[in-house]
Amino acid sequence: MKNIKLGDIKFVNDTTITIRKYRRRTTVPKQVLEHLNLKDGAAIRWIIMKNGTVLVMKGG
């Protein structure tokens, strides 16, 4: 995977994970929802790289 350049970044935000029993939830920032055009029930793909980087993409 190539290095990420600051000029390539459009948005950065931190969110928290809420864990209740078997359900784990995180909040997707509004800017990400709008940029990816995500609607209720949309799929999100989580990709874990060997170096520990996690990529989040629109699924489906």
Tens digits of per-residue pLDDT, 6-41?
888 888 888 887 888 878 888 888 998 999 999 988
Show the domains of the chain with their CATH numbers.
6-58 (2.10.260)
For 29, 32, 41, 47, 59, the CA distances from 12, given in Å and listed in that order, are 9, 9, 23, 18, 20
Rounded to 5°, the CA angle 15-19-25 comes to: 50
Is residue 3 very low, low, confident or very high in pLDDT (cuts 50, 70, 90)? confident
pLDDT at 25: 82
Residues in the chain: 60
pTM above 0.75, yes or no: no
